[in-house]
Amino acid sequence: MVETLLFNEKNCTEESITVGGKCIKYRSYENINYIENPVAKEHQILNIYIPVSYYEEKEINGYQKNTAPIFMPNQVGGYMPGHIVKPGLDQSGKINATFVALAKGMVVVSPGVRGRHMQNEEGKYIGIAPAAIVDLKAVVRYLRYNKDRLPAGDVEKIISNGTSAGGALSALLGASGNHSDYESYLEELGAAKARDDIFAASCYCPITNLENADSAYEWEFQDDFECNIERRQATKDGKDFTLVSVKELMSDIQKNYSKEIKKDFPQYLNSLDLKNSNGNVFSLVTEREGSFIDYLKEKIIESGQKELNITDHIECDAFTIERNIITDVDLNAFIKFRTRKKSVPAFDGINNITPENELFGTEDCEYAHFTRFAADNDPNRKGYLADKKRVGIMNPMEYIHSESDKALYYRIRHGAMDRDTSLAISAMLALGLSMNNVKVDYQLPWGISHAGDYDIDELFGWIESITK
Ligand code: DHB
């Protein structure tokens, strides 16, 4: 046993919080080091919250202390460091998922994980890929290691949750359980010797599969050369930011980039050999023909129909509607309706300064390319082309067919109006996982742009359905 990694039941405070008229009481174990050799000591820590009822041997929502699922939301956004969250309100003033999880009788583990831009005292970048996923795995290992010391929570029912980059990490955590690729990193950190697979993964708009995200983006938004970029603008008092939408037309060079980049997508998609349970393949015959197109259209129609059933009216002329039933969607018209958000390339910037370029930087170099196209077209040639293995280790698609121990359940949500990445990215993830005996609940909720945790009732309904 490693003394420093043993959970100490005595280090807790009893807390209560009332939000929206609902009071929850819980014990809070804070700032627990989950690895032996942290490189960011203040950051590689976690909090555990346990409903007080479990210390009184009471049941909550059908769960007992030893059957309560462990909800593990990561707060990573933009591949920046993910901070610990406490039960309460989120940034927009809504009750957060941590509060709801506790109210529903779950144990919550809130991890602090490293992210891009973090530097140590010597100026080395310590949050570059694969730091965040290694930290999350170390957290899971810590929980399993302390399985018999935790006062409540079933370590075989860990459910991770995240949005955007955090959704990508949730997807990766679910796909890569116990894979040996991460072993040396975990060993170096002094992670607990235990398994790191999880039970289920909830992924909102996962910004994932980064090395193929540029080609998917250009394939989706092809011929739409107007970017509707969201810029952060300081408020008058300079204390806050608002998002303003700015239209920008692409230059001729950018249009040519787009045409070049999109060419890779059909070949990549077909190389995945995605199939459904009847053995039917999801492929592209041309850029806009093939069973993969039919699948996307089906998901878009499903999304629109759900909305139509509720509202009786839908503001989108891409649909053919007969007696309130959507019978078809014009995919190009729908994509135009979504509008393009990012410039080209969307992820691996030619000028090498996107969040993803920073994610793949090295200890000593802030930015790196991760696609051959951007590296070849960077006039300054600054930054390296990141090591292929280090790029792959961040991509759940690399693990869905591997010998990893995958989460049994996934919930993937990609808002129908979310253009931070192509719809193809989440669709390929959902299809690939389904082929590997994972039960995937995948939807493109209508009217939703880049966001997460917007359907808390449904999220926890899903968790209850898979844990009871
Ligand atoms: C996030 C959004 C992006 O568009 C991106 O490229 C990377 C991360 C995010 O919100 O986490």
Query: Is there a single domain that holds both residue 240 and residue 317?
Result: yes
* One-letter amino acid for residue 348 of the chain: D
What is the pTM assigned to this prediction? 0.97
d(CA 352, CA 348): 7
What tokens appear for 329 in the block?
């969607």
Burial (CB < 10 A; 0-12, 13-18, 19+), residue 123, is exposed
Q: Mean of the pLDDT values across residues 220-232?
A: 86
Query: Is there a single domain that holds both residue 196 and residue 218?
Result: no
pLDDT 10s digits, 126-159:
999 999 999 999 999 999 999 999 999 999 999 9
205 within a domain of the structure (yes/no) = yes
Q: What pLDDT is attached to residue 225?
A: 86
Please indicate whether residue 201 or residue 245 has the higher confidence score (pLDDT). Answer: 201
440 within a domain of the structure (yes/no) = no
CA of 301 to the centre of ligand 1 (A): 26
Query: Is there a single domain that holds both residue 411 and residue 458?
Result: yes
- Which numbered atom of ligand 1 lies nearest the CA of 166? 11
Q: What pLDDT is attached to residue 235?
A: 79
Q: In the predicted model, is pLDDT for residue 457 greater than 90?
A: yes
CA of 452 to the centre of ligand 1 (A): 12
Q: Which residues pair with 282 in a beta bridge?
A: 274
Query: Is there a single domain that holds both residue 148 and residue 226?
Result: no
CA of 363 to the centre of ligand 1 (A): 22
423 within a domain of the structure (yes/no) = no
Query: Is there a single domain that holds both residue 204 and residue 237?
Result: no
437 within a domain of the structure (yes/no) = no
- Which numbered atom of ligand 1 lies nearest the CA of 354? 6
- For residue 196, name the pLDDT band (cuts at 50, 70, 90): very high
Question: How distant is the alpha carbon of residue 446 from its chain centre?
Answer: 19
Ligand 1 pocket test, pick from 420, 421, 423, 448 with the greatest ligand atom count within 8 Å of Cβ, gives 420
Q: Are 344 and 258 in contact (CB under 8 A)?
A: yes
Three-state secondary structure readout of 23-43? EEEEEEEEEEECECCCCCCCC
Longest dimension (CA), the chain: 68
Q: What pLDDT is attached to residue 230?
A: 78
Rounded to 5 degrees, what are φ and ψ at 399? -115, -10
Q: Which residues pair with 109 in a beta bridge?
A: 48
Residue nearest to atom 4 of ligand 1 (CA): 420
Q: In the predicted model, is pLDDT for residue 194 greater than 90?
A: yes
Mean of per-residue pLDDT scores for the chain:
96
- Which numbered atom of ligand 1 lies nearest the CA of 421? 4
Q: Mean of the pLDDT values across residues 367-383?
A: 90
Total domains, the chain: 2
CA of 420 to the centre of ligand 1 (A): 7
427 within a domain of the structure (yes/no) = no
Q: Mean of the pLDDT values across residues 36-49?
A: 97
315 within a domain of the structure (yes/no) = yes
Query: Is there a single domain that holds both residue 61 and residue 101?
Result: yes
Look at strands 70-73 and 200-204 and give their pairing: unpaired
Q: What pLDDT is attached to residue 44?
A: 98
Query: Is there a single domain that holds both residue 149 and residue 228?
Result: no
| Nearest residue to 195 (alpha-carbon basis) of 120, 139, 271, 129 | 139
116 within a domain of the structure (yes/no) = yes
Name residues whose C-beta falls within 8 Å of residue 4's C-beta, 6 or more positions apart in sequence: 33, 36
- For residue 383, name the pLDDT band (cuts at 50, 70, 90): low
Burial (CB < 10 A; 0-12, 13-18, 19+), residue 433, is buried
Query: Is there a single domain that holds both residue 118 and residue 235?
Result: no
Query: Is there a single domain that holds both residue 119 and residue 39?
Result: yes
Q: What pLDDT is attached to residue 92?
A: 87
Q: Are 258 and 215 in contact (CB under 8 A)?
A: no
Q: What pLDDT is attached to residue 327?
A: 98
Q: What pLDDT is attached to residue 378?
A: 94
Count Cα neighbours of 263 within 13 Å in the Cβ-side half-sphere: 7
Residue nearest to atom 1 of ligand 1 (CA): 78
Cβ count near 220 (within 10 Å): 23
Q: What CATH number does the domain containing 145 carry? A: 3.40.50.1820
22 within a domain of the structure (yes/no) = yes
- End-to-end distance of the chain based on CA atoms, in angstroms? 33
Return the minimum-mean-pLDDT range out of 66-80, 381-395, 415-429, 431-445.
381-395
Query: Is there a single domain that holds both residue 237 and residue 310?
Result: yes
Distances from the Cα of 210 to the Cα of 2, 169, 192, 426, 443, angstroms: 37, 12, 29, 12, 21
Query: Is there a single domain that holds both residue 216 and residue 74?
Result: no
Query: Is there a single domain that holds both residue 38 and residue 62?
Result: yes
Q: What pLDDT is attached to residue 329?
A: 98
Residue nearest to atom 5 of ligand 1 (CA): 78
Q: Which domain holds residue 154?
A: 3-209+395-415+451-467
| Nearest residue to 50 (alpha-carbon basis) of 101, 7, 90 | 101
Pocket of ligand 1 (CB under 6 A): 77-79, 164-165, 207, 355, 420
pLDDT 10s digits, 197-222:
999 999 999 999 999 999 999 999 99
CA angle (65, 71, 77) in 5-degree steps: 160
d(CA 74, CA 110): 7
